[in-house]
Amino acid sequence: MNESTRKLCNFPRGVLLLTALFAILAVLTFLTDGELKAQSSLPQVGGKDTRDLTTTNEQDEAIMPTSTPTSTPTSTPTSTPTSTPTSTPTLTSTPTPTATASALNAPGLRVEATALGVELNWMASTDAVRYELMTWWDGAGGWQPLGGDDLTGTKYMHSEVTAGTKYYYSIRAVNAAGKTSRWLSDYPSVVAIATTEAETDAPTPTATALFTTRMTAKATVHGVVLNWKAEPGAVRYLLMTWWYRDGEGSWQSIGGDDLTGTTYTHTDVAAGTRYYYTFLAVNAAGETSGWLEDFPSAVAIAVTEAATSTPTPTPTATAPALSAPEMTAEATVRGVELSWEAVAGAVRYELMTMWDGAGGWQTIGGDDLTGTTYTHTDVEAKTKYYYTIRTVNAAGEKSGWLKAVPSATALEAGGN
């Protein structure tokens, strides 16, 4: 066959192949549609149509949350309060203990019966700003408060006691936050002795509130010399000293219980050691001020024996008992002249004066009054002055104060 006839014979075969291909596609389309229709008749899961889980309309998208919402809170919300609210007041830079101060302990308490009452002494407690005292005795009906609510010192005189009665005591400490220690359970006790009045027949002013103001301490070759101002209403003073020794320190009493002047020399000192001092005032009723809290101090220097122009007798253990001499007081244009007789064993004398409005006995004449006369020149005309005297021997022992106090009314400058 020629070429034209061959092409014509091949044409029906191509048409048949295309027709067969379209028929196969039609059958496949039919079968696919039937399977989809069968799937559309399946039941819903949970009442919801599961036919198309991959496609959502706009309404579904508005309801379904995204996998990571932008409003999800952070692990530490910014609105969560801090551990220390900003409204909490800050602590001030003061040494006052805070509410979280260390636990307080009740101090040890020492009691001693004296002619003025029962004297209580204790050591300062760490962080304590004041102390509270209680006392008990047979018939009291229970523990009784003592000393008031402003007891800041470390000493108290219980003067309202009955001779022969045994008194028990307890103490506790209070810090700046108002927290208290436990009451001291080892109750010290003592039997009160008869109390005595102040050794003077002169009128005394009504007891007033006592205060301690200022004291100076100066190291000398004789020891540490202490000086303080006479306190109105005070009839005597108590001294204490503190120094660091053997790894610790504690307050020690010095000067005795009859220190009526305004100066004292601490002779029992070690050269090179710094000593701190404090004092309190006691009135005729046995009431005490607080201890001076501004502690003066001085470093002791080598102590030498006192140099005197007149030899003094060597002190002996058998020194004669001292007594206060009789004394006269005479008003003159120069002041009030005082005279007394020399006392055997005395190496010097101490004088005191009082007048209405003085607020208590005042020291005059200094600490080196070795003669038997003295003129009180610092007087006010028409004012009546009372005087008393006592003697001191070479050992530093002292007599009692003269009870039969002389007096004189000061004259004006012209002698009237």
Judge whether residue 132 has pLDDT over 90: yes
Q: Which residues pair with 346 in a beta bridge?
A: 393
The pTM (predicted TM-score) of the whole model is 0.29
Judge whether residue 239 has pLDDT over 60: yes
Q: Encode pLDDT of 74-124 as tens digits.
A: 333 333 333 333 332 332 333 333 334 457 889 999 999 887 889 999 988
Look up residue 241 and give its two tokens.
Answer: 């000293």
Q: Decide which of 140 and 326 is more confident.
A: 326
Q: Where residue 394 falls among pLDDT bands split at 50, 70, 90?
A: confident
Judge whether residue 56 has pLDDT over 80: no
Q: Where residue 26 falls among pLDDT bands split at 50, 70, 90?
A: confident
For position 45, what pLDDT does the model report?
38
| φ and ψ of 36, to 5 deg | -65, -40
Residue type, 148: G
Q: Where residue 388 falls among pLDDT bands split at 50, 70, 90?
A: very high
Residue 73 forms part of a structural domain = no
Kindly give, in sequence order, each residue whose CB lies less than 8 Å from that of residue 167, ignoring residues fewer than 6 positions away. 111, 118, 135, 136, 137, 158, 161, 189, 190, 191, 192
Helix (H/G/I), strand (E/B), else coil: 116: coil
Residues 182 and 222 in one domain: no
State the average pLDDT over residues 142-166: 89
Winning range, highest mean pLDDT, from 43-52, 139-148, 161-170, 317-326: 161-170
Kindly give, in sequence order, each residue whose CB lies less than 8 Å from that of residue 373, ignoring residues fewer than 6 positions away. 337, 338, 339, 340
For position 43, what pLDDT does the model report?
41
Residue 343 forms part of a structural domain = yes
Judge whether residue 200 has pLDDT over 60: no
Q: Decide which of 13 and 24 is more confident.
A: 24
Residues 132 and 173 in one domain: yes
Residues 331 and 402 in one domain: yes
Residue 268 forms part of a structural domain = yes
For position 246, what pLDDT does the model report?
64
Angle, CA of 260, 368 and 203, to the nearest 5°: 35
Residue 82 forms part of a structural domain = no
Q: Which residue has the tokens 């559309």?
A: 40
Q: Which residue has the tokens 């192949």?
A: 17
Tell me the pLDDT of the chain averaged across its residues: 74
State the average pLDDT over residues 380-406: 89
Angle, CA of 240, 263 and 406, to the nearest 5°: 120
Residues 294 and 331 in one domain: no
The CATH number assigned to the domain holding 335 equals 2.60.40.10
CB 279 within 8 A of CB 215: yes
The mean-pLDDT minimum among 87-96, 181-190, 233-242, 304-313 falls in 87-96
Kindly give, in sequence order, each residue whose CB lies less than 8 Å from that of residue 321, ignoring residues fewer than 6 positions away. 399
The mean-pLDDT minimum among 173-187, 266-280, 351-365 falls in 351-365
Kindly give, in sequence order, each residue whose CB lies less than 8 Å from that of residue 17, ignoring residues fewer than 6 positions away. none
For position 85, what pLDDT does the model report?
32
- DSSP run (H or E) holding 121: strand 117-122
Residues 279 and 331 in one domain: no
Residue 281 forms part of a structural domain = yes
For position 230, what pLDDT does the model report?
84
Residue 47 forms part of a structural domain = no
Residues 279 and 348 in one domain: no
**Distance from C-alpha of 272 to C-alpha of 389, rounded to nearest angstrom:** 37
Residue 382 forms part of a structural domain = yes
247: containing domain = 215-299
For position 337, what pLDDT does the model report?
93
CB 331 within 8 A of CB 408: yes
Q: Where residue 245 falls among pLDDT bands split at 50, 70, 90?
A: low
For position 256, what pLDDT does the model report?
87
Residues 222 and 187 in one domain: no
The mean-pLDDT minimum among 57-61, 327-331, 390-394 falls in 57-61
Residue 57 forms part of a structural domain = no
Q: Encode pLDDT of 342-382 as tens digits.
A: 998 899 999 999 888 777 788 899 888 999 999 999 999 99
For position 222, what pLDDT does the model report?
86
Q: Where residue 294 falls among pLDDT bands split at 50, 70, 90?
A: confident
For position 224, what pLDDT does the model report?
92
Split into its structural domains, the chain has a count of: 3
